[in-house]
Every structure is written in structure tokens, then in C-alpha cells.
Amino acid sequence: MYKIVSIPGDGIGPEVVAGAVAVMQQLSKKHGFEIQIEEHPFGGASYDLHGEMLTEATLEACRNCDAVLLGAVGGPKWENLPHEHKPEAALLKIRKELGLFANLRPAKVYDALIDASSLKADVVRGTDFVVFRELTGGIYFGQPRGFDATKGWNTMVYEGYEVERIARLAFEAARQRKGRVMSIDKANVLEVSQFWRNVVIEVHKDFADVELSHMYVDNAAMQIVRNPKQFDVIVTGNLFGDILSDIAGMITGSLGMLPSASIGTKHALYEPIHGSAPDIAGQNKANPIATIASVAMMFEHSFGRPDIAREIEQAIEATLAAGLRTADIANPGDATVSTTAMTEAIVKNLSA
């Protein structure tokens, strides 16, 4: 039995998570395994109910399940709360509490969606890489931090073990892909980046069969939009990974297409990389594909079922090849389908 905590969250979160749950239920029927889904509030939805973005009850449920599925959090309603009470603070806390040190963000261009990219078709065709972003260290967590009337300050710090464990995951993933790792840093300016590079080079000694290259982050941002096919596995720190993975996301056509996994030693959380999109919340317009693709990552990384992950990906590809488009991935003049219609089509293709 697979025990999953579902956290719909805010905005379009409940709508896209409902689509992912429908896919999991269909897979349960098809393959005969039992799946238990327990829903908990998080983010603004939790704040409205309990006065806090992340309750101990939700956190405890996440500690005692096989995987967590998160929709999206935040929105204008909660933007003016003190920093420590904002949804983003709750996201940082849950990652830290669950030890989710690695964020995996695939950037894959589906053939059916080549025209949805803002880049030329010949540039993006065949793009298929993954960003490994370190998630619990770096400048987002460094101390000291603060600001006063005249200045603000943050500290970027990395411990050796933090760099080593994310590097090992990246090298291991590359062994199952094309065998190439690109480590992204700013070692020409930042001492912490030179330290990062030194540790990655040391870890590489255990993975001599994998090719290791290094690139400065400013050049990497340019190269991702100039020639994305050159990348296989990218490994980088928290801040750089945050920026580069969003750049990578947009070259695929829409953030609504991209899943992610946040993985630790004992726990894992899966979520689309898009936000809560309050402007379309409740209108049945959201693209559920990123959340459904996150379920594919869940089956591969948490449940050890890459075969089911491929089934989900093939069902998504078949649905797109049939011409179905939500508004975010449609070309001008194209007919669009609703969140539920896209979900139903993917579920039908799973049954085929």
C-alpha cells in the first residue's frame, strides 16, 4: 500500500491536485495496488483555518507517509503578513523539517508542444535535462541575516556534506541518463562557490564514468536559452537553482507543464513548479499536467516503479499529440479544454 499525504493548498492547487488524485486512483485500479490518500491544509488555507501556515498535525502526517503531494501555496490574500507567517516561510520550514535537500526539476520539451516555446523549434527540439537544486542550504538559510534603515544583509554558507550529498544524487542520476553533469557556480567571484566546486570535484572521483563540467551561473542562464540540448544533469546551489530552473521551465512552453520532486534521506515531496495562479483559481482553467507529471516522479523516486512513471508520461504525450490544450499551452486561435477535460483525457489514455 502507498500512503500519500495530499496538500491541495491555495489558488489552483485544489484543482490540479484533484487531477493528480484521479490519475492515482486509475493506476490503483489498473495495477491492483492499494493507495491511501490523506488530505491536510497548508499555506493560506491552513492560516485561514488555524492561524498558521503549517500546523504540527500536517507536519506529523508528512513525516509518517510514503510521499507528499503539494498543489500550490500563497496568494494576494496573505501577502501582507509578517515574513515569518508568509506561505513561503512555511515552504522553507517543511523542506527543512523533512530534510528535503534535493529539488529535481526536469526540463523536457514534448514534440507536440514545440510551437508553444518562446524559442525557435530547432533550438528546443529534443531538449531533455534535469536540474538538481540544493534546497536546504545556501543564502536562503544562511545566518546572519536582516536589514535596518541603511542596509540589508544575507549570508551564503555551504557545509561540505550539503554539497556532497546533492552532488552524489546528480552523478547517480547521470548514470541512468546520458552520463553528463554540469555543475553551476560563481567560483570566479564567490569563495562559497569555489568551495562548492572543490567538493563536487572530490565527489566526482567516485563517478569516473560520468563526465563533469563546470559553468558560471551567468553563462548558464544564457546557454539554457541558446542551446538547451547541451545539458543532461545540472547540479547547483539553492539560489542559482531557483533562478535557472524557472528559466528552463519557460523554454518548454509553460510552467504549467513542469513537475518537481524534493527529496531527502527519508522523505519526499512532489509538486508542480508553478504558483497558485489566483487569477484563474476556481475557473477550471488550470493545466493539471505538471501535477500529474509530479505523480510520475513520485512513482519513480519514492515507490521504485519507473514502469508506472513511463505509463503516466506516455499518457500525457498521447493526450498532447491528440491536440488537447489548456489555455496556457494553446496557440492563438486554438480551442482549449478545461482542467477536468484534460485530466479525463489523460486518465482515458492510461486505460488504453
Supply the residues annotated as catalytic.
140, 186, 218, 242, 246
- Would you list the DSSP string of 248-295? HHHHTT-GGG-EEEEE-SS-EEEEESS---TTTTTTT----HHHHHHH
What cell numbers appear for 343 in the block? 485530466
What's the distance, CA 244 to chain centroid? 12
154, exposed or middle or buried, with CB in 10 Å at 0-12, 13-18, 19+? Answer: middle
491528440: which residue's cell? 322
563533469: which residue's cell? 212
> What is the Cα–Cα distance from 130 to 163, expressed in whole angstroms?
17
What cell numbers appear for 52 in the block? 498558521
Query: How are beta strands 233-236 and 180-185 bridged, if at all?
Result: parallel
